[in-house]
Every structure is written in structure tokens, then in C-alpha cells.
Structure 1
Amino acid sequence: MSDSILVLEDDVTLNHLVVRQLNKAGYTTTGVSTWADARKFLENNEPALIIMDGRLPDGDSLEQLPSIVDEYPVIVLTAYGSVKNAVDAMKKGAEDYLLKPISPDELLFSVQRTLSNSAIRSDHQFCKQQLRAKTLGGKSLIGGGQKMHELKRLISAVAQDDITVLVQGESGSGKELIANAIHEYSPRVSRNFVAVDCCTLQEKLFESELFGHEKGAFTGADRQKKGLIEGAEGGTLFLDEIGEIDGTIQAKLLRVLETGVFRRLGGTKDLVANVRMVAATNRDLERMVREGGFRADLFYRLNGFTITSPPLRERREDIPELAQHFISNHNFSRCIDKQLTPAAIRKLIAYDWPGNIRELKNVVERAIILSRDKQKILPVHLAFGSSQGGQSALLNLSFDHDPSLDELTAKYLEHQLKKYSGRRSQVADVMGISERSVYRMIKRYELSE
């Protein structure tokens, strides 16, 4: 199907010439001579391009530009000697302008270039939207349990502000994905998200990577290098495992957070750090502060807003969805639609996942390989670590008040029901009571199985 073009020109002869030329080139072209006719056309049609004169009998086209350039690419036609108007049109969003009299070849070249650029922008925007939807709705924030709902609420609340965020959580629980989601929800989404792994870089190398360096700053520095702070200009800088950096870097990072400026290694110029910082750690920074291993002033700067990434054992209801996601997105497919059996799902839910989501991904991908050409993944295909499926991890029953015995019992029973997928016989064995007693306690505490 050919592209549709609207020609808005009050010179009837020129209007007919342009329409005829574009129709001959294979475009579907409509010509009108007033803004009133153009508005009627646009009420029922959506052209791929608008070509319009700079001045019309019923309105100044330059004044109308801001209201249409967001929806349609525009080429402005201008009389000789009106170059200033053409420049103004470009500033207001026009894609191109052509001086009258118009050369047919120049007209076709401008139309082709404008339509091509518009298509590229549309494709780029579509890909960004798809990637954003995949990141927010699928890849990074999978799960509909209570913990995930609360996590998404916090991300949505803090993303719009530029406050520094500290993400705490165990290794493998998805801290970087949370940081990326904060970036994706923020006004900085159109700029870069730059991740820095603080535990893999030595002091000098870390400083050079983060702040950049000037030529001659150290042996081998034969040219200037911009650091990751500059690479994240206008975007988000994610500092993973912030608890691993030493005191010297802590002091320089504190200066960036307090003043918004930094210097490259070996440099004397103050550079502005236009970045939003998100830090993450699996260590207890408050304890490190008390023991002298982490600067208190830096901790308080980082701790502007804290988000805790829940361990997988505390969101067991999300395990089936996560496992299915890894099955659907593995990149070594045998072209078989793999499915976990109910027994395999129960085994996954019962395991305590000390390695969290990272470990779940490894277990599922290993199961895909071990199940070979079979469609169903069975419990026998699931190979866990040293703490074999179902061995209890440290149980944390947290309350914001001193709980009663009934509250403790209800919370513990709820935990066991989630862990064993509502199978009362297994819960009864673990708790050392009869299955009938478990049933009565479920009714008493109004728990769901």
C-alpha cells in the first residue's frame, strides 16, 4: 500500500503540479488549498506526510506547526526570500523546507528522505516501547504475589524523583533488575542506564572507570578517557555491591553525591555529574558503619530511599511463573514446548533457594537439558545444590509489634502451607501434629490453602 500525502497549497497551479508529480511517483496524494479543508481531511484520514505552504488565506502555517508535528512529518514550501520563515519552521518541528519554484527531483528526494526518517523513528520508538514493556511487565518484575506488589508500588513511588536509592537484598534476588525498573519508570528513561560492578574492580582501575582519566594521569594513560559517570549523563548510574568499595573511593563518591561535581583522575577541572544514582548491596551497611568498614556520611547519603529485594523463599507463589518464564526464554531450545509437571512445580516451591532467582534459572535450564526430547519436565530432572530440595532455611517471622502466640502460630502455618503447596499431610509431618489438626488450624486462622 502506497504512502498517503496531503498537499496544502493555495496556489492552484502549483498544488496540481505537486499532486500530479507525487501520484506519478506512486504516492496517494490529496491536494487542498485552505486550513479548513485540511482539518476536514485530517478528521477522517491519517497521511504519512504533510506538504504545506508557509502562508495560507485562512491561517499562518507556522503557527499551526506545533499542533501537528507530533502526529505527522511536515515539509514546508516557502517563497524565495523567506528563508527566515523556513528556519523558524525547522525550529518548530518541520522535517524539511523547499524554496519555490520547486524542482521535481528535489521534491521527490525530500519526500523520500522525510518518509524514510519517519519510518526509522517509528520503528525505533516501537522497539523501545516493546523493550520497556518486556522489562517492566515481564523480564524484571515477574510475579503477582504480595511481596512483588509491594515492591512495584515502591518502585513506582520513588522512580519519578531524583533521590538516591539503596537496594538491599541477598545475592541473586534481582537487585539490578529493580534498579533498571526504577530507571525505566523515571523521567531519565530516554538516557543511558549504566551498571558498575564494584566488587570486580581494583582501586585505581575502579577510579579510572568511574571518573575517567586525563592523558598522562598514570603509566599507559596515553589519551583522555571519559568515565562511566559521563557515560550515564542524563541517565542512571547503578553501583552494584557498593559495600565492596574502599575508603578512598567512598570519599570521592561522597563528594559527587554532595556537590554533584567530580574530577577525572589526574584532572583539575570540576565536571558536573548529571546522573541519578542507585546503589545495591547484599551486606549490612549499618553494621559495617558501626564496625568502621563503611563511611557513615556516605551511608546516609545513599540511604535516601531504601528498597529491599525479597528472597525467593519469601515469594514462593511466584516460583511457577518465574520457572515458566525461564523455560519460555531459554536460548538453547530443542523446539519443544516444555512444561513442568505439577509434581515438579511442588518440588520447586518446597526448596528454599539460597541462591534465589539466579539459582532457580540455573536449575530450570539444567532441567531443560536433562529432559532432552521429552515435553514434560519431571521432578527427577530437577537437580538442586547441597541444601537439597526442602531443607529449611532460616525462618524469619517479622511483626511490627510483639506478636501473640496465636499470631506466631498462624504465620508459621501460613509459611508451611506455601512451602508445601497446601499439602496438609506434609505440613502435618513437619509440625508434628495430625492432618486433622492442621485442617482445624487453617479454619481457625482463616488461612487459604
Structure 2
Amino acid sequence: MTPTSSRRILVIEDDATLNRLLVEQIGRLGHEATGAETRAAALKVLSQQRVDLAILDLRLPDADGLAFLPELREYCPAIVLTAQGSIDRAVQAVRAGAADFLVKPASGQGLELAINRVLGTADLQRDLAFWQGQARLGQRRPLLGTSPEMMEVRRLISLFAGAESPVLILGEDGSGKESCALELHAQSPRANGRFVAVDCAAGPTAEEILGEMRPGPDGRIRQVEGLIGAADTGTVYLGAVDRLPRDLQNRLLRVLESGSFRPVGSNTSLPCAARLILGSALSVEDIAADPDPLSPLLLRMLSFVIRLPALRDRPGDIREMAETLLANRNFQRNTRKTFGPAALRALQGHRWPGNLRELSNAVERAIIMSAGEELILPDHLGLGPAPAAKGVVGKSRSGEVVLRFETPPSLDDLRAAYLRFLLDRTRGNRREMAGILGISERNLYRLLPQVSDGEAEGSPRPEG
């Protein structure tokens, strides 16, 4: 398996001539190679840059290669070099965690095959970690809705996805900022890379985000990778970034401006290969109007902003979103569930302070509370009383049925209000109601749960 991109390879060999030859040979294979002749020199290189693979001689002037191997493996996989007659040492090294071994002098073909094999295995391991991370994040949720606000969100995602610039996503809590960030990642050239999501409201430390220099078991200082480094060439989403301490926000600002980051405790900056996407519940007005800048980091981001609308500001999207959630979460496989008209009114009349997160929870509750019933009613949602139909249906003195609404009614409003009128006129006689409607009593019973709130205060009453 041939790696698709150039990698950094560290050659740790005390023979200066062989070290130089290996570095040159690896360079001809398309990789970036660095030589080190001692353990100390190797550790210095490892502390200053990311290394994808090390080639280690088991005999070093300042260390036993076999004893150095566990420490080296904390940075990258290793191929060990051994002389003829020391095969037993090479086998011991493989048992201790070496990815492969080569006998000196290694042929060019053997070196290339070993490098490609080890890097290919490392790629597979990274891919496995990536997909496991994606599984933990859950399935990618489509950005639903056909409202003008959501059409604008989709337009901006398509514009920003191909750019390398950082993006700021603004929206109330629960409005889908992480889903928006994941959609940006999925449409970008980085889609095959890692997507790392960080909830800054949970209080991640600078060490967790940027990495740090930390003493190992032997007391020697080594670099521990942070989330930005772990994302590699993928995407890092920092949600609720305004909740971070100001000094950490300033560090992230320097990352955006310089394209590099410095692990805590290190004197050396490393290139930032990942793209940063930030999220906040603040508004543009909050950020720009504060006389004492609330966050220089967010001010820096105002050129590339995606604003997610609150759910209450796009009521026309609620039905589509609720029905999609119902289809995705309906675990009562033997019962096909649907929202009754009264439940749909309850969904569209609710203010949704928790936005999409609250809607998702309400749908999941309705599936559970409706048990074996096919029709979901307002009580199943747990949102409080369903809003009454906005109008009055009554009977005039001439015997005509009069329909009066303050606003244009939906078909569901018309049907529910007329059924309430018939309930009142027939004093609840189902047979008489079915005769007036021209349907069977069985079909009538299917309609009546949709107006189960008909006796509630505010229900339409027949006029004089």
C-alpha cells in the first residue's frame, strides 16, 4: 500500500554515512526525512515537530535502542535497524512494539516496502479512530427546512466549505451549530479527515486543546498531543467558544492569525494543519456593540459568519423537522405513528426555547408515551395545552353554518373546528355525527381523538 502524501520520517542512526544515505533514499521516495545520531538529538526533533515514522538503530551511543523503543512509540511507529547476527534483538524489538525491522544494509526496495507497510497500517488505524469518533458523534443530521432563513444557511455553507478560512457559527443553544459545522466539514476538501468537536462550556483546558510538554515515567519531558494536533488535517469545531477563559481565547486568536500553535510549556510553535470552526450563542450585535470587546477572538471572526435561526422564527419548518425526527426515531416497528392535527398545532404553537434539541426530545417522548397507539396527541408531547383553533364555527339564524376565522385557517383547523361544532350540536351522539358527515362510525372514532380538547375552555361554540 503506497501512502498518498509525503510524511515526516526520522532516521535515528549513529553511523553518519549510513544516516545520510537513508535520509537521501527516503527523500527520493517522496518523504521529508531528518537525521539524528543520538537519542538526545532524536528527542529534540520529536519535541519540535510531528513525526509520522521513525527508523531506529538498536545500537546508539547514548542509549540502548531496545530500551528507547517504548518511549519512541509514544510519538510515532518505529522500524528498527539491526545488523546481521542480531536477528534475536530485532524479534525482541517487534515483541516490544516495533512495527517492523530491517537488517543492515537494507536494500532500497526493502526500505520502501517497510515504510509503505507501516505507514499504511498507521493510516488504517487513524481511519478506524476517525470512524469510531464519527459513530460517537452520531449520524450526520441533515439541515432540514425550506424557509428563506435555512436556504441562506445552506448557501453560506456551500460558499465557505471550499475555503480555508475559519468560520463562526452563531445561534441559540440547541439550534444545530455542531450539525452545521459537520456539514461544512463534509462538503469541504477535508471531508476524509477527522472532525473533532469540543464543548467549550465543559471547561476544556489549554493543555487539552493545544497539547503540552509533560514529564514521562522516566522524568524526561515529552510532547502530549492536544485536540488541534489530533485533528491533523481535518476540522476542529469549538462550540460555546465564548465560554473559554479570555487568555485561552487569546491563544486561539494567535492560532488563527499565525497558522501555528504552541503546546503548553513548549518554546516551539507547531504548524496548525486543521481548520477551525467556532460556535457561540451570542449574536453579531452582542459581539460588535460591546464597548469593552467581549471577545477579540469573535470580533476577528465576523467576516465569515453563519447565523442559524431560532426554531420559533421558522414555524413553517417545524412540521417537516418533527416528521423526519419521528421517522428516524420510531422504534415501535410494528406501529406506524403519525402526528394528529392537534399535535401538529401544539408543535407549531410552542415557543421552543431549547430549539432543535427540545424538539428532538419532545418527539422521542411522544414515541414512548403513545405506546402502541398510532396517533400522537398533544399530551404525548408534554408541551402543555394544545393551541385552540383560531376561529369560530357556528350556526346562524337562517340555519347556515358560518365559519369565521381571524386569520386564514388551515384544512386541519377547519376540520377540527367543524367536528367540535357537530359534537356540540348532536350532544355527543356519534351515530348522528357520522350520518351528517356521511362516514362510518368507525372512521368517526379515528377523527375524534384529534379534537379531544374540544371541551376545553376556548373551544368554538355554536352561535345563537
TM-score range, shorter chain: 0.5 to 0.7
Q: Give the counterpart of 2:160 among 158, 161, 185.
A: 158
Contact 1:198 1:241 in 2 (8 A): yes
Instruction: Find out whether 1:252 has 2:254 as its counterpart.
Output: no
- The Cα of 1:223 is off from its aligned counterpart by 5.8
Question: What is aligned with 1:280?
Answer: 279
SS in 1 for 2:343: helix
Is 1:352–1:390's contact at 8 Å kept on the other side of the alignment?
no
Name the CA shift for 1:374/1:155 in 2 (closer, same or farther; >3 Å): same
Letter in 2 for 1:379: P
Tell me which residue corresponds to 1:197: 199
1:302 equivalent in structure 2: 301
- 1:286-325 aligned within 5 A: 286-288=285-287, 290-292=290-292, 294-296=294-296, 298-325=297-324
Deviations 1:178-197 (A, max 9, x none): 01100000001010111111
Match of 1:337 in 2: 336
Distance 1:264 1:180, change over 3 A: same
Q: Distance in 2 between matches of 1:212 and 1:237?
A: 14
Q: Could you give the per-residue CA deviations for residues 46-67 of structure 1, whole angstroms, max 9, x where no partner exists?
A: xxxxxxxxxxxxxxxxxxxxxx
Name the residue aligned to 2:213: 214
CA contact (8 A) 2:170 2:281 kept: yes
Q: Which residue of 1 aligns with 2:144?
A: 142
Distance change (3 Å), C-alpha of 1:322 and 1:222: farther
**TM-aligned CA distance change 1:221 to 1:237, over 3 Å:** farther
Aligned length, in residue pairs = 280
Change (3 A) 1:335 1:213: farther
One-letter amino acid of the counterpart of residue 206, structure 2? E
Residue correspondence of structure 1 range 6-155 to structure 2 within 5 A:
139-155=141-157
2:267 aligned partner: 268
Where does residue 180 of structure 2 map in the other structure? 178
Instruction: Supply the distance in 2 between the matched residues of 1:179 and 1:345 (Cα, whole angstroms).
Output: 29
Q: What are the Cα deviations for residues 216-266 of structure 1, in whole angstroms up to 9, with x where unaligned?
A: 49xx99864200101111111111011111221121111100001111111
Identify unmatched segments of 5+ residues in structure 1: 1-82, 97-116, 392-412, 427-449
CA contact (8 A) 1:197 1:240 kept: yes
Give the whole-Å Cα distance in 2 for the aligned partners of 1:421 and 1:255.
Answer: 57
Alignment-derived partner of residue 357 in structure 1:
356
TM-score by length of 1: 0.54
Deviation at 1:162, TM superposition (A): 1.1
- How far 1:144 sits from its partner (Å)? 2.8
Q: When the two structures are superposed, what TM-score results if normalisation uses the length of structure 2?
A: 0.52
* Partner AA of 1:191 in structure 2: G
Percent of counterpart pairs with the same letter? 36
SS at match of 1:214: strand
Distance 1:253 1:274 in 2: 14
Amino acid across the alignment from 1:325:
T
Change (3 A) 1:390 1:353: farther
Deviation at 1:147, TM superposition (A): 2.5
CA spacing shift, 1:369–1:230, aligned 2, 3 Å:
same
Letter in 1 for 2:201: C
2:97 equivalent in structure 1: none
Cα gap change, 1:348 to 1:222, in 2 (>3 Å):
farther
Question: Which sections of structure 2, spanning at least 5 residues, go unmatched?
Answer: 1-106, 389-404, 417-464
1:255–1:349 Cα change, 3 Å = same
Please report how far the alpha carbon of residue 293 of structure 1 lies from its aligned counterpart in structure 2 after TM superposition: 5.5
The 1:246/1:221 distance shift into structure 2, 3 A limit, reads farther
For residue 167 of structure 1, the aligned residue among 139, 161, 169 is 169
Structure-1 residue corresponding to 2:45: none
Q: Is the 8 A contact 1:417 1:424 kept in 2?
A: no
TM-fit CA distance, 1:390: 5.3
Q: One-letter code of the match for 1:165?
A: V
In the TM superposition, 1:349-388 aligns within 5 A as: 349-384=348-383
How far apart are residue 337 of structure 1 and its match?
2.3
Secondary structure of the 1:176 match is helix
CA deviation after TM superposition for structure 1 residue 425, in Å: 11
Q: Which residue of 2 aligns with 1:241?
A: 240
**Aligned residue for 1:47?**
none
Secondary structure of 1:329's partner? helix
CA distance in 2: counterparts of 1:383 and 1:424, whole angstroms: 25
Separation (CA, whole Å) in 2 of partners of 1:333 and 1:151: 34
Q: 1:216 to 1:279 in 2, by over 3 A?
A: same
Instruction: Look up the equivalent residue of 1:329 and give its one-letter code.
Output: N
- Which amino acid in structure 2 is aligned with residue 259 of structure 1? S
Task: Give the counterpart letter for 1:178 in structure 2.
Answer: C
**Deviation, structure 1 residue 366:** 1.0
Query: Structure 1 residues 285, 152: CA separation in 2 closer, same or farther (over 3 Å shift)?
Result: closer
